[in-house]
């Protein structure tokens, strides 16, 4: 029953907020971490148990959920990112504003929203769970109550409100043109089943469906931080507390923006409205703008934030191929990006916790005093740049092959050249932060808390293992995603 992935974190959230005194405060971390761990285990151990549809009624509103290989891949990714984030928060609990029960409440709330997004089968429910995730994100960004965090949260709030308006308008148009908001009904209308050449079963004209699709896709582009809607991403990612940055960059924006684009491309808009060209143009612009902007950053987290923008562009580029291989490549790179970018934000948390700064010009020589953080960072940035045999190489290779087979050779070449830029700015980060001789002020720096180091090591090992086991993953998971 896919509904379990929404109900269990909801029950856990309610349980740790019962009036239990000091016990309730101590339950935050173990409950959130255990729930994330169990979600990972449930998806890996019993994938067949969660597949298929289920439904429930809330206040007279029927909610339908369904899981397939793509949904399960996202649920796995959510569990991994949430577990890494809670571990980092546990390692920073000496700073109450960066840990504590409130943070774990928000992690559980974000999990409810993201799990719902991965499982729903209609536009209105999708919108509701996207907004649940967004509410948790606003608070996570501003948890430190510093000027920088409040500014980042405000920018995200304003742009997200614009996206919300777009999506609600789209849902209204779908109700007018189709009479239903389920993926199946809208897909039938878009492809002309049951109606005229340009209309759906509800008799709505083609222009209503076109505008509705355009508005919803635009709203998702804002949520996902695609160019030209990316301005909030570096402010939000860099201003958020370290554990929140791990969650936001690792999975939140990928779920509310990019995954949803993949799902709608598969289930609703396949081959319609020339969306492939929209994705190609938006994707390559996002790849290049993000990579070029990252080259000029001095703040470690801002560089990683712009890198996230660029990597999201690769996923959208894969959608532009409009082929089964492109869909599988997009899903695989979403997962890989969550692994290596989540790990890099964990490493940034370690550096900031030990040195008190993110300014790369003030750092240097940390490789000798923080060797685990340094070497796991090398693994992550090599994967992000697409260096074999790490996992990022395989997903980028699939993206390039999908573009080439679809006849978009120019976009494929641009994607390869952008990977050189990725390698350049990550080499610059590694040199400024970890290489060279440490200054006297940093001479006494030691490795970060085991709670921070452990997720970095685990994610690095996962990146290596996924690269080594790629043929097995292709035959068991990615082929099934492609068949969708």
| Cα 236-373-83 angle, rounded to 5 deg | 60
Return the pLDDT at 69: 86
Scanning the structure block, which residue is given the tokens 């080259």?
Answer: 295
Q: Of 357, 356, 377, nearest to 456 (Cα)?
A: 377
Q: What are the backbone dihedrals phi and psi of residue 66, each rounded to the nearest 5 degrees, phi first?
A: -150, 145
CA distances from 319 to 277, 322, 395, 403, 457 (A): 9, 6, 13, 9, 31
Return the pLDDT at 208: 85
Return the pLDDT at 48: 76
Scanning the structure block, which residue is given the tokens 């684009």?
Answer: 261
Q: Is the peptide bond before 389 cis (omega within 30 degrees of 0)?
A: yes
pLDDT band per the 50, 70, 90 thresholds, residue 61: low
Q: What is the pLDDT of residues 28-58, one digit of tens each?
A: 889 999 999 999 999 988 777 777 666 565 5
Scanning the structure block, which residue is given the tokens 């405060």?
Answer: 25
Return the pLDDT at 52: 65
DSSP state of 250: I
Please name the helix (run of DSSP H) or strand (run of DSSP E) that holds residue 325, with its range, or none. Answer: helix 324-355
Q: What percent of the chain has pLDDT over 70?
A: 92
Return the pLDDT at 191: 78
Answer yes or no: is pLDDT of 432 > 70: yes
Average pLDDT along the chain: 86
Helices (H), 92-231: 100-119, 123-141, 147-177, 183-190, 206-224
Structure tokens at 362: 């003030």
Return the pLDDT at 202: 43
Q: What is the pLDDT of residues 271-300, one digit of tens each?
A: 777 888 999 999 999 999 999 999 989 989
For residue 145, give every residue at least 6 positions away whose Cβ sits within 8 Å of its Cβ, in sequence order, or none: 97
The answer to whether 87 touches 458, Cβ cutoff 8 Å, is no
Return the pLDDT at 64: 80
Q: Of 320, 283, 187, 301, nearest to 233 (Cα)?
A: 301
Buried b / exposed e along 6-27 (16+ C-beta atoms within 10 A): bebbeebbeebeeeeeeeeeeb
CA distances from 42 to 2, 15, 462 (A): 11, 21, 18
Answer yes or no: is pLDDT of 203 > 70: no
Answer yes or no: is pLDDT of 238 > 90: no
The C-alpha atoms of residue 454 and residue 406 are separated, in whole angstroms, by 41
The C-alpha atoms of residue 335 and residue 477 are separated, in whole angstroms, by 12
The C-alpha atoms of residue 253 and residue 358 are separated, in whole angstroms, by 22
HSE-up of residue 266 (Cα within 13 Å, Cβ side): 24
Q: What are the backbone dihedrals phi and psi of residue 133, each rounded to the nearest 5 degrees, phi first?
A: -65, -40
Q: Which whole number is the average pLDDT over 360-367?
A: 84
pTM score over 0.75 = yes
Q: Domain segments of the chain: what residues?
A: 274-484
């Amino acid at each position: 029953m896919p509904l379990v992935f929404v109900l269990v974190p909801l029950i856990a959230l309610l349980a740790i907020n019962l009036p239990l005194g000091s016990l309730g405060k101590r339950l935050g971390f173990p409950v959130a971490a255990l729930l994330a761990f169990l979600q990972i285990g449930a998806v890996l151990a019993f994938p067949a148990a969660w597949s298929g549809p289920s439904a429930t009624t809330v206040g007279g509103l029927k909610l339908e959920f369904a899981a397939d290989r793509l949904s399960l891949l996202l649920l796995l990714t959510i569990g991994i990112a949430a577990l890494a984030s809670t571990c980092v928060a546990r390692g920073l609990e000496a700073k109450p504003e960066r840990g504590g029960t409130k943070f774990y409440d928000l992690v559980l709330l974000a999990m409810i929203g993201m799990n719902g997004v991965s499982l729903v089968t209609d536009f209105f429910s999708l919108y509701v769970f996207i907004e649940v995730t967004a509410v948790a994100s606003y608070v996570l960004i501003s948890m430190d109550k510093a000027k920088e965090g409040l500014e980042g949260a405000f920018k995200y709030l304003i742009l997200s409100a614009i996206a919300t308006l777009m999506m609600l308008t789209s849902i209204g148009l779908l109700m007018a043109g189709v009479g239903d908001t389920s993926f199946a009904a809208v897909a039938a209308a878009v492809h002309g089943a049951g109606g005229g050449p340009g209309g759906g079963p509800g008799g709505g004209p083609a222009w209503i469906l076109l505008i509705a699709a355009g508005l919803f896709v635009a709203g998702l582009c804002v949520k996902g931080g695609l160019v030209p809607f990316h301005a909030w991403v570096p402010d939000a990612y860099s201003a958020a507390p370290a554990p929140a940055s791990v969650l936001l960059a690792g999975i939140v924006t990928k779920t509310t923006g990019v995954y949803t684009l993949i799902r709608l491309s598969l289930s609703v808009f396949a081959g319609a409205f020339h969306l492939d060209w929209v994705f190609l143009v938006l994707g390559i612009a996002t790849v290049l703008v993000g990579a070029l902007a990252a080259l000029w950053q001095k703040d470690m987290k801002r560089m990683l934030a712009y890198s996230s923008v660029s990597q999201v562009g690769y996923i959208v580029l894969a959608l532009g191929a409009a082929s089964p291989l492109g869909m599988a490549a997009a899903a695989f790179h979403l997962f890989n990006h969550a692994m290596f970018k989540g790990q890099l934000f964990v490493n940034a948390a370690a550096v900031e916790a030990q040195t008190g700064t993110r300014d790369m010009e003030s750092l240097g020589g940390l490789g000798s005093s923080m060797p685990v953080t340094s070497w796991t960072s090398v693994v992550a940035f090599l994967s992000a740049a697409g260096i074999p045999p790490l996992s990022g190489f395989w997903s980028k290779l699939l993206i390039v092959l999908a573009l080439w087979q679809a006849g978009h050779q120019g976009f494929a070449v641009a994607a390869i050249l952008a990977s050189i830029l990725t390698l350049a700015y990550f080499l610059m980060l590694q040199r400024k932060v970890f290489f060279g001789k440490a200054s006297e002020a940093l001479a006494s720096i030691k490795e970060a808390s085991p709670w921070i180091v452990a997720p970095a090591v685990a994610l690095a090992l996962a990146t290596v293992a996924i690269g080594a086991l790629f043929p097995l993953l292709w035959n068991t998971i990615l082929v099934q995603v492609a068949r969708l």
